[in-house]
Amino acid sequence: MKTSPETQERLKFLNRVVDKEIKHLDYASEQVFAGAFTYEAVEKLDSTPDLALRVEAFTSRFCRLQDTLGDKLLPALLKALGEPDRALLINLDKAEKYGWLESSEQWIALRQLRNQMIHEYIEDAQTLYDALTTAHDNLNTLKQFANRLQKQILDVSTLS
């Protein structure tokens, strides 16, 4: 299928953005989780502003990458392949059928971590700790999805 130059440029741009977001997320992850990141550390975030800033950076970057992949890159790629504009859940199911995403349910579960990590009303340290460690444990899910989308972009680019 022939894609327009604008679509190709959009895909290339988003590809570069994803590469940078992964790099920044890896750095933030290293800053939070390289040492002993514990429940007790989360309990003391109010009194450890340096760690709180690192946790905030990790959270922001995790959410940003997920947004870029699910809300921008995936729809742009599907459009380039001739798929109609659809809601996120339908796009995720399509990504799973194409083999780019292992589980749309897992992706939705990871998106729900956002509420547990970023909303300021969180007062339960255990909930925040669990959300942060779950996000960290699932970084490869985001990266694998990104890699598969990026590979598909290369395939689309060579067909045009």
pTM: 0.92
Domains contained in the chain, number: 1
Q: Residue 45: give the domain boundaries.
A: 5-159
* Number of residues in the chain: 160
- As a whole number of angstroms, the distance between CA 19 and CA 146 comes to 9
- As a whole number of angstroms, the distance between CA 129 and CA 158 comes to 44
- Among residues 144, 66, 138, the alpha carbon closest in space to that of 99 is found at 144
Q: What is the CATH number of the domain that holds 151?
A: 1.20.120
Q: Tens of pLDDT along the chain (160 residues)?
A: 577 889 999 999 999 999 999 999 999 999 999 988 999 999 999 999 999 999 999 999 999 999 999 999 999 999 999 999 899 999 999 999 999 999 999 999 999 988 888 875 467 899 899 999 999 999 999 999 999 999 999 887 765 5
- As a whole number of angstroms, the distance between CA 81 and CA 156 comes to 8
